[in-house]
Chain A
């Protein structure tokens, strides 16, 4: 009995037969069925977004592909443009935080903090110690909440599902804590020029510490669940590599910059609020690929936990706000103040003409610069890796579109 596999004609044999002239097709058939030319394919332009679950908001990408390989990419922004900078010119100084909440809407505290720091620089007001500590505390809690969103959705981009549910479980507790502190879950409007709007509620320290006790375990579980997954590692390692020169040329900041090995952190190198008093490490990567960005952000969460504990332990007594006039009229001048937000350096460039409203209000969002580097790193990768590179850069479109 012969082996049935012997009957299988090898591909080479088929190709050899194809070299003979096939002749004219029989009547009723219009063309020679010679198959598809697999070598020269047509370039296709794929329009991804703005309504796409993996674009993390309303990013629109135009991707030119040859088969599955990306040849060129263009990021198209503006689908969430609300004119924040123009609106700020008709707002009072203490209302700027409200606008910044709607910029980077996943880590609102950092935007508020940047706006408040810039206003305080113009006013030359000294913030009480307690206010500095409260601000740092809520900023680090917001960073944890924001990084958890990134962690969950980055996993979704690679095709994993479970970690998103666990990340949202922890974020829910964090948002409850932030709601108790500020009265809102995401649009906090809590940090104001001179301090914060209200003192910490009674008993919130215990809630935060209880959460951290759980989160110490949960964070390592998160890391084991996604980072310990071999499929995930194979998909993100070596993807979206950003060299040090490229990161500097595109002015990347935050974890995207530190993953390339450049150790610049606004909290350490341009210290503000309570960060000079805190003990924390700035994690850096080496190769600058998506895996390094993942590892840097996971380590940042561990450092945030450390900082929250230090803030609660070292919380000073005193006022939660300095004496600031109801209508702020700073002297004429121009200042720049920046904070390390969850995504990188969020800086506020503020021009005052002495009136109660800013003359020019501009903020530097780190996501805009991450959107630019996308156009540079996407070509050469496979189409399936595009969503992972977007996810690894942690882009927030509300901030880039203003």
Chain B
């Protein structure tokens, strides 16, 4: 279930990813690194001995200061799961990882649109769920209308 944290950091160091922090949290084994090194790290983890062949899910969250994106990896041969986390500035770019994990295609489009990031390196960077002009709904700065506001609209 939980991968060996030292093995993960060993693979990342060998791939040239510096200052990656691997820790065991309530979520599982979480690896925090810089957004610029996500692609290199994911490629190393997929092809490395830990065999993280599946990107099970991709999501983003508004922490109040920046956007935190999470890559949920799974290795079926070793039956282990790993979470990769990186942060992107509000006006930052989200680099697509679809060349490494094809399953990121639509979740990335969804995250970019709902959290207001610009998606780069994606073969079809269109909006997925909402139409043009809809504000990034999952940002904390976008409020939900109250019942009174809807009635008095």
B26 to chain A minimum Cβ distance, whole angstroms, is 4
Contact flag A362-B25 (CB < 8 Å), given A86-B138, A368-B106: no
Residues of chain A within 8 A of B142, CB atoms compared: 86
Q: Contact: A364 with B124, CB < 8 Å?
A: no
Q: Contact: B61 with A78, CB < 8 Å?
A: no
A85 to chain B minimum Cβ distance, whole angstroms, is 6
Contact flag A250-B56 (CB < 8 Å), given A85-B138, A90-B144, A269-B79: no
A250 to chain B minimum Cβ distance, whole angstroms, is 5
Q: Contact: A249 with B25, CB < 8 Å?
A: no
A343 to chain B minimum Cβ distance, whole angstroms, is 15
Q: Contact: A86 with B137, CB < 8 Å?
A: yes
Contact flag A372-B137 (CB < 8 Å), given A334-B25, A364-B57: no
Asked if B90 is at the interface of the complex by the 8 Å CB criterion, the answer is no
Which secondary structure dominates where chain A touches chain B?
mixed
- Chain B's interface size range is 35 or more
Asked if B28 is at the interface of the complex by the 8 Å CB criterion, the answer is yes
Binary flags per residue of B122-153, CB closer than 8 Å to A gives 1, else 0 = 00100111110000011000101000000000
The docked-state distance in angstroms from the alpha carbon of A228 to that of B76 is: 34
Asked if B118 is at the interface of the complex by the 8 Å CB criterion, the answer is no
Residues of chain B within 8 A of A78, CB atoms compared: 127-131
Q: Contact: B54 with A77, CB < 8 Å?
A: no
A359 to chain B minimum Cβ distance, whole angstroms, is 8
The docked-state distance in angstroms from the alpha carbon of A11 to that of B59 is: 61
Q: Which residue of B lies closest to A86 (CB)?
A: B137
Segment among B8-16, B32-40, B97-105 that sits at the interface with chain A: B97-105
Q: Contact: B25 with A336, CB < 8 Å?
A: no
Most buried by B among A249, A359, A371: A249
Asked if A83 is at the interface of the complex by the 8 Å CB criterion, the answer is yes
* Interface positions of A from 359 to 394, Cβ below 8 Å from B: 359-360, 362, 364, 368-369, 371-372, 376
Contact flag A74-B124 (CB < 8 Å), given A251-B103, A362-B59: yes
Binary flags per residue of B41-66, CB closer than 8 Å to A gives 1, else 0 = 00000000000011111010110000
The docked-state distance in angstroms from the alpha carbon of A81 to that of B1 is: 34
Contact flag A336-B55 (CB < 8 Å), given A83-B137, A368-B106, A372-B102: no
Q: Contact: A249 with B137, CB < 8 Å?
A: no
The docked-state distance in angstroms from the alpha carbon of A157 to that of B76 is: 33
A272 to chain B minimum Cβ distance, whole angstroms, is 13
Residues of chain A within 8 A of B95, CB atoms compared: none
Specify which of B27, B62, B106, B114 is in contact with A371 (CB 8 Å cutoff).
B106
Residues of chain B within 8 A of A83, CB atoms compared: 137
A198 to chain B minimum Cβ distance, whole angstroms, is 29
Specify which of B1, B27, B54, B114 is in contact with A251 (CB 8 Å cutoff).
B54
Contact flag A249-B102 (CB < 8 Å), given A86-B138, A86-B144, A269-B79: yes
Residues of chain B within 8 A of A264, CB atoms compared: 76
B18 to chain A minimum Cβ distance, whole angstroms, is 25
The docked-state distance in angstroms from the alpha carbon of A349 to that of B111 is: 14
Specify which of A262, A333, A349 is in contact with B70 (CB 8 Å cutoff).
A349
Q: Contact: B55 with A251, CB < 8 Å?
A: yes
Contact flag A345-B61 (CB < 8 Å), given A78-B128, A334-B26: no
Q: Which residue of B lies closest to A333 (CB)?
A: B26
The docked-state distance in angstroms from the alpha carbon of A401 to that of B70 is: 20
Residues of chain A within 8 A of B114, CB atoms compared: 85
Residues of chain A within 8 A of B72, CB atoms compared: 336, 349, 364
Q: Which residue of B lies closest to A79 (CB)?
A: B129
Specify which of A90, A248, A359 is in contact with B76 (CB 8 Å cutoff).
A248
* Interface positions of A from 117 to 145, Cβ below 8 Å from B: 121-122
Asked if B121 is at the interface of the complex by the 8 Å CB criterion, the answer is no
Asked if A108 is at the interface of the complex by the 8 Å CB criterion, the answer is no
Asked if B92 is at the interface of the complex by the 8 Å CB criterion, the answer is no
Per CB-CB distance, the 9 closest pairs between chain A and chain B, nearest first, are A251-B103, A78-B129, A364-B57, A360-B61, A333-B26, A81-B129, A249-B102, A362-B59, A334-B27
Chain B residues with CB under 8 Å of chain A are 1, 25-28, 53-57, 59, 61-62, 70, 72, 76, 79, 83, 101-103, 105-107, 114, 124, 127-131, 137-138, 142, 144
Chain A residues with CB under 8 Å of chain B are 74, 77-78, 81, 83, 85-87, 89-90, 121-122, 248-251, 262, 264, 269-270, 333-336, 345, 347, 349, 351, 359-360, 362, 364, 368-369, 371-372, 376, 401-402
Known: A77-B128, A349-B59. 4 other contacts (CB 8 A): A251-B54, A333-B25, A359-B61, A360-B61
